[in-house]
């Protein structure tokens, strides 16, 4: 396996699947006993982070049904 000029490598599919490295997964590198270890970054699931950031920011008094009607474009 080669490192590109940008410092990138491809994680083999079998390793991605075995360890749950999905697209947009956050990873961390650490050095231990002269080895570089790749691991999932703790507490950095992107979706969880975005939801936590947005929680409580809505400025509306609409009901769920009203919001669903608006997003669907229902005219009735």
Write the CB contacts of 21 (distance below 8 Å, at least 6 apart in sequence). 11, 15, 27, 40
Domain ranges of the chain: 13-72
How much is the CA Rg of the chain, to the nearest whole Å? 21
- Whether residue 2 is predicted with pLDDT greater than 90 in this model: the reply is yes
Task: Give the residue from 26, 29, 1 showing the smallest Cα distance to 13.
Answer: 1
Supply the pLDDT for residue 38: 93
Rounded to two decimals, the pTM is 0.50
Residue 35 DSSP SS3: strand
Residue-wise pLDDT for 8-57, tens only, equals 999 999 999 999 888 888 889 999 999 999 998 876 566 777 777 788 88
């Amino acid at each position: 396996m080669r490192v590109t000029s940008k410092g990138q490598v491809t994680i083999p599919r079998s390793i991605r699947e075995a360890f749950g490295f999905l697209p947009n997964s956050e990873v961390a590198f650490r050095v231990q006993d002269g080895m570089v270890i790749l691991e999932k970054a703790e507490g950095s699931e992107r979706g969880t982070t975005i939801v936590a950031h947005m929680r409580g920011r809505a400025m509306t008094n609409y009901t769920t049904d009203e919001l669903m009607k608006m997003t669907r474009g229902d005219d009735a």
